[in-house]
Structure 1
Amino acid sequence: MNLCHDILFFFFPHLMMKANLGVLFPFGQVLVRFPTGERKERRFHNTDTIQSLYDYVDSLDCLNAEKYSLVSNFPRVVYGPEKHSLSLNEAGLHPQASLFVEVDS
């Protein structure tokens, strides 16, 4: 990840467990891939919700569809309306995630 991460991991491996990443590194990177092949990347706080990802995608004006879902490829998880209130940490999308936009038919 970066030099700071490597140093912390070397000296304090017990602190670097996934459960503690949100405390030490509250911001994570989310990559969103669109059906056109376009990619957008942004940092989000680990307490931001899935809804904030949808708000971000809507603000980009890169999509010509009103109904879509954000989906992780492996394991395949659809972050639909029932998951909008989950934090990125709760959803397992922190510290890093790659999602794609799946247009609903």
Structure 2
Amino acid sequence: MIELQRCTTWKGMAGDPVYEAYHDTEWGVPEYDSRALWEKLVLDGFQAGLSWITILRKRDAFRAAFADFDPEIVARFGEADRARLMADAGIIRSNAKIDAAISGARIYL
């Protein structure tokens, strides 16, 4: 059996199943689906100033909070949705980042 070798930049996260799954299945893999790319762009925006592992650990909560990153739904988010997102401890609660995600959905369409 071949033992999987990890690159040195990931050694600090060795043993973290979330990080290892991301590294093994997503990192460096071309993505051609525009909706999946939009999700990654939104998550990158929320990551600003934070570690990527923070976002990876919250990704399921982000998907639930942002309607599975359906831009047609997110583009229609209003004040009640903004308030709901700001109250959601499962995601990064930043007015600026939430507004950017909603605006980004409108631009995406």
> What range describes the TM-score normalised by the shorter chain of this pair?
under 0.3
RCO higher in structure (CA 8 A, sep ≥6): 1
Query: Structure 1-normalised TM-score?
Result: 0.27
Question: Which structure features the higher share of strand residues?
Answer: 1
Question: Which structure features the higher share of helix residues?
Answer: 2
